[in-house]
Amino acid sequence: MTNIFAFLQQKRMFRSTMWQRNLAVNIFLGVFLVLLFLELLGLGFFLDEILKKPGAKYPPDVIVAQGLAYYYMVIFVMRFFIQELPTLEVAPLLHLPIKKSKISLFLNFRSLLSFFNFIPFFLFLPFTIKFMGPKFGAGQAIIWFAAIFFFEITSNFLLIWFKRNYTVKPGIIGILIIIMGSLSLLDKYHVFSISSVSETYFEGILNHTVWIVLPILTTLIFFFVNYRLNLNHLYLEDLGKKKKQNERITSQFQRLESFGITGSLILNEIRLLFRNKRSKSIIFLTPFLALYGLLFYPKGMNPLNSFTFALVGILVTGAFMIPYGQYILAWESRQFDFILSSNISTSEYFRAKFYIMVIPTVALYLVSIPYVFFGWKILWVNTVMFFYNVGINALLLLFTASFNRKRMELEKGQMMNYQGVGVNNILNAFPLIFLPWIFLIIFKALFNEVTALWLILIMGLLGILFHNYFIRLAVKFFQKNRYKIADGFRQS
């Protein structure tokens, strides 16, 4: 029986549609994944040396022990976004004479194949071998690593339990992030130190081998909890996705309908955004990009360095437009025949698309104004980049949309779902982000920084002033390519 599961698993892997993507994308992703693993491995290998920096208060093992609590929290949130439940895979087995307990066990073991469960082997195993082994002896080092591993597996089963009980809602992720944030604040102000709890455990286990029982026990408990959960919910209706109620969010926009066809098209796009898994992940991504500034601004960088500010400014104000706009037509690939044959003039359609990119950009600009806290210059650069995004990038996206001819299935998540992502699209983001940067370099070399920023601002303003003209050009360009685009969108 186990053989059957193994057989199915193997076939699923090798016959996955993933392999049927075009070669270039596969190579790109392959290189990306290999790099990612190499980076993790490299980080793991040099972890001791990185942490041994002069001036470090603690030895590397203590720092790792303190950090592990945070590591698990971060990984858990990432799992929340990325890790899929394997439940649907067993749907075709339900009517076959296979014991439910077997299927339930399979589901549990299947979840172990998630990439996250392997991270400790890359990140902490080299450290264990290189540093912990020589310092504390092989036996202690193995136990130490085993504890890390079993906590990771606990996190795996905990996540699955969590995800099966609660659908992924922005609220829940928000709560998780708030919990993490407050834990680290409490830690910082020495109210309650999660890192010292973590330290106590992971340092303690080196002396008290028996503490290994704790993660093994939690692993077993959550394994069993999931096993029961699976066993009792092996029905088709449980396996599928839970119904989501997004009526509420989108009904607030109902008024758009009174703005004629353009309003209706925008309303439709808003519904698309909120009701499909893939587009929803853009909504999750946007706040992260918008908060990107926090990574750079507080570091007290040379205030004259507007290059970094320019990059950050483009990303912050384009936090929605850049990830969303790249697929501005492809989002509707499944109903493209409807769009083409409906009584919508193409220019009206493109104008709606322009507003769909611009309105959130305006909102993001307003939200980004508090960054002025870190200096007036930041507000100034962000303002320039905002106008550039609206006047140049949004229009540029209307043109590049015609190159994106891959159908997208919106019900699959964004992470690791590269459907519709061609090499074109990856390259697409570069000019959006780096072109203004290059302009800045050139203008600065020719004139000076103040003039350079003004010139970019003027470029943006000109784009806004003549946007109707550029939209018409984009429409013409689209008209020329429309059969090819529609044909690409029909290929599932």
**3-class secondary-structure state, position 323:** helix
Q: Tell me which DSSP letter residue 276 carries.
A: S
Residue closer to another protein (CB basis): 368 or 414: 414
Q: Are 325 and 279 in contact (CB under 8 A)?
A: no
Q: Are 313 and 375 in contact (CB under 8 A)?
A: no
**What are the residues whose beta carbons fall under 8 Å from the beta carbon of 52, sequence distance 6 or more?**
59, 60
Task: Provide the minimum distance between the beta carbon of 168 and another protein in the complex, in angstroms, as a whole number.
Answer: 17
**Mutual angle of helices 423-446 and 449-465, in 10-degree steps:** 130
Q: Is 341 in the site for another protein (CB under 8 A)?
A: yes
Q: Is 344 in the site for another protein (CB under 8 A)?
A: yes
In 3D space, the residue among 397, 398, 421 whose CA is nearest the CA of residue 408 turns out to be 421
Which residue, 52 or 169, has its beta carbon nearer to another protein? Answer: 169
One-letter amino acid at 184 equals S
Nearer to another protein, 180 or 344 (CB): 344
Number of residues that bind another protein (CB under 8 A): 29
Q: At what angle do helices 423-446 and 23-51 cross, to 10 degrees?
A: 60
Shortest Å, Cβ 325 to another protein: 20
Query: Binders of another protein among 215-274, rule CB under 8 A?
Result: 247, 257, 260-261, 264, 267-268, 271-272
Tokens 């029986």 identify what position?
1
- Extract the tokens encoding 410: 């919106």
Taking alpha carbons only, the member of 31, 34, 25 closest to residue 426 is 25
Minimum distance from CB of 421 to another protein (Å)? 21
CB closer to another protein, 282 vs 315: 282
Q: Does 62 bind another protein (CB under 8 A)?
A: no
> Which residue type does 378 have?
I
- Least separation in angstroms between residue 74's CB and another protein is 32
Between 147 and 273, CB nearer to another protein: 273
Cβ contact 325:395 at 8 Å: no
Q: Where are the alpha helices (DSSP H) in 412-448?
A: 423-446
Please, which residue, 252 or 341, has the CB nearer to another protein? 341
Verify binding: residue 410, another protein, rule CB under 8 A. Answer: yes
Binding residue for another protein (CB under 8 A) from 130, 275, 377, 412?
275
Report how far residue 144's alpha carbon sits from residue 270's, in angstroms, rounded to the nearest whole number: 49
**Shortest reach from residue 448's CB to another protein, in Å:** 50
Separation CA 315–CA 323 (nearest Å): 10
> Looking at beta carbons only, is 134 or 240 nearer to another protein?
240
If one asks whether residue 486 binds another protein (CB under 8 A), the answer comes out as yes
Shortest reach from residue 335's CB to another protein, in Å? 5
The minimum distance between CB 353 and another protein, in angstroms, equals 15
Geometric angle at alpha carbon 397, from 347 and 358, rounded to 5° = 75
Please tell me whether residue 334 binds another protein under the rule CB under 8 A: yes
Please pick, from the candidates 276, 281, 317, 400, the single residue that binds another protein as defined by CB under 8 A: 276
Instruction: Name the residues that contact another protein, by CB under 8 A.
Output: 247, 257, 260-261, 264, 267-268, 271-272, 275-276, 334-338, 340-346, 410-411, 483, 486-487, 490
